[in-house]
A and B are shown apart, each in its own frame.
Chain A
């Protein structure tokens, strides 16, 4: 399922044009990021939960050049699927 399919599907369901849906997705992402930034968790029934995890800074070495780089700390969004989603996926062959 690519983005086009997704937009068409969503547009059909909520009664809007795919363009509007795309805009809504963008705003949804922004709102989600704003709220998750504060350490909140967004659990979605039957799907999974989204949360923000803090990754510590670390030193990485480029294997080919042996160059060492200090990667700064960052906030990363993480998704944890719910058991229902897992079951649903796994019951399909």
Chain B
């Protein structure tokens, strides 16, 4: 590297390569440059095929500045030797870099190429960073775990969260329950009160309203607990670590036996949340086939002015019917056993609807809009549906006519029926 070759060394290599005598090679090398010198001296140019061209170039007189003194000096016209290597020599010299080729750069592909390179570089760096400190991601995972388990305060924080979730879950579970058992068992439980006053047209509307309100507030709250439960869960996660930060120092020993306990607790919580989600799905879905509660409210409202049975309750009605209807909603389309149960005490379901309609349909009942849709299940029949929604199985013919059914004797499970909103003609 960077050593100075001598012509004799070169001649030796040449002789070795070409298979000529060393003497001849040396003579060649010596004369080679002599001849060239003579050639450029005579003709200003010397061309050697396979090596290059030596040329004498005259440089014209020019002015320059003495760098040290700043004086302007003129550099006289002179000649200099230029050497242009032959193409073959160029190639030979450039052989190590011969795989490179000139690339045309367009403005857009430059950016793409560079960003691609940047991304690859970033990815590699990330990979390197991930591989080098393997301990880094582990501690955060451990800390919350140990944190939750570690300290008594952490438990204290966690416990309030659990009752919250439990209460919320309880609310969701309780809401449908009060509605179901009273009807099936025909018990005079509080929820029944909501429907009872309507049947008897009792003046004390305040109580049903009061009864209805809590339920009303509870049932809309039903979806909420699920939202709040995760929140409480996250609260739990958030507060627990902070608590453990304080406790980390002195509670290490305790954490050893508290850990399984807290793990168990967490598992229970998880299980409970999962069950909650599942149960919510169970109880939430039935609402869809029916008309939404507010449509029922409007139905009840529109019925009130008609002066039919229940209309004596001015302020109790708007509150009570929806609650009754809502209490009904969850169980209404549920599988056949409940439907069978519902049959005995006939007019419980949409009390407002039932109350406003005559026991047996006559010419005064007309279809006024739609109440919603109903998806048929196993064990359902048009009679049962009519019984449930209109108070009498006689109203099945309205469903049949409203759906323009060709053969009402054969209905299939899963078929979606439109339920007409029935009204007494004025």
The residues in B between 318 and 355 inclusive whose CB is less than 8 angstroms from any CB of A are none
The 6 tightest CB contacts between A and B, nearest first, are: A72-B100, A1-B39, A79-B83, A33-B92, A68-B105, A81-B81
- List 12 extra interface pairs beyond A6-B39, A74-B97, CB under 8 A: A1-B46, A9-B35, A25-B49, A41-B5, A67-B104, A68-B104, A69-B103, A69-B105, A75-B96, A75-B97, A77-B90, A79-B83
Distance to closest chain A CB from B143 (angstroms): 51
Task: Tell me whether A69 and B49 are in contact in the complex, defined as CB-CB below 8 angstroms, given that A33-B95, A89-B81 are known contacts.
Answer: no
Task: Tell me whether A76 and B93 are in contact in the complex, defined as CB-CB below 8 angstroms, given that A1-B47, A30-B17, A42-B10 are known contacts.
Answer: yes
Bound CA–CA A85/B37 (angstroms): 8
Bound CA–CA A13/B48 (angstroms): 16
Contact (Cβ within 8 A) B33 A44: yes
Complex contacts, B92 vs chain A, CB 8 Å: 29-30, 33-34
Distance to closest chain A CB from B316 (angstroms): 84
The total of chain A residues at the interface (CB under 8 A) is 61
Task: Tell me whether A47 and B33 are in contact in the complex, defined as CB-CB below 8 angstroms, given that A31-B17, A33-B95 are known contacts.
Answer: yes
Contact (Cβ within 8 A) A6 B48: yes
Distance to closest chain A CB from B44 (angstroms): 9
Bound CA–CA A48/B17 (angstroms): 24
Bound CA–CA A41/B81 (angstroms): 18
Contact (Cβ within 8 A) B36 A47: yes
Contact (Cβ within 8 A) B13 A31: yes
Complex contacts, B79 vs chain A, CB 8 Å: 89-90
Complex contacts, A40 vs chain B, CB 8 Å: 1-5
Contact (Cβ within 8 A) A31 B14: yes
Complex contacts, A75 vs chain B, CB 8 Å: 93-94, 96-97
Contact (Cβ within 8 A) A1 B102: no
Q: Which of A26, A29, A44 contacts B7 (CB 8 A)?
A: A44
Contact (Cβ within 8 A) A29 B104: no
Contact (Cβ within 8 A) B4 A86: no
In the complex, per-residue mask of A23-52: 1 if CB is within 8 Å of any chain B CB, else 0: 111111111111111111111111110001
Complex contacts, B28 vs chain A, CB 8 Å: 10, 14, 21, 24, 28
Distance to closest chain B CB from A50 (angstroms): 8
Bound CA–CA A77/B89 (angstroms): 8
Bound CA–CA A24/B92 (angstroms): 15
Contact (Cβ within 8 A) A39 B10: no
Complex contacts, A67 vs chain B, CB 8 Å: 104-105
The residue of chain B having its C-beta at the shortest distance from the C-beta of A70 within the complex is: B103
The residue of chain A having its C-beta at the shortest distance from the C-beta of B26 within the complex is: A14
Task: Tell me whether A27 and B18 are in contact in the complex, defined as CB-CB below 8 angstroms, given that A48-B81, A89-B40 are known contacts.
Answer: yes
B80 interface contact, C-beta 8 A: yes
The residues in B between 131 and 182 inclusive whose CB is less than 8 angstroms from any CB of A are none
Distance to closest chain A CB from B358 (angstroms): 90
A63 interface contact, C-beta 8 A: no
B253 interface contact, C-beta 8 A: no
The residue of chain B having its C-beta at the shortest distance from the C-beta of A66 within the complex is: B107
Task: Tell me whether A69 and B31 are in contact in the complex, defined as CB-CB below 8 angstroms, given that A3-B49, A76-B90, A89-B56 are known contacts.
Answer: no
Bound CA–CA A47/B49 (angstroms): 19
Complex contacts, B42 vs chain A, CB 8 Å: 1
Complex contacts, A89 vs chain B, CB 8 Å: 40-41, 56, 79-81
A2 interface contact, C-beta 8 A: yes
Contact (Cβ within 8 A) A27 B43: no
Complex contacts, B88 vs chain A, CB 8 Å: 26, 29
Task: Tell me whether A70 and B105 are in contact in the complex, defined as CB-CB below 8 angstroms, given that A36-B93, A76-B90, A77-B90 are known contacts.
Answer: yes
Complex contacts, B96 vs chain A, CB 8 Å: 37, 75
Task: Tell me whether A29 and B89 are in contact in the complex, defined as CB-CB below 8 angstroms, given that A1-B43, A72-B101 are known contacts.
Answer: yes
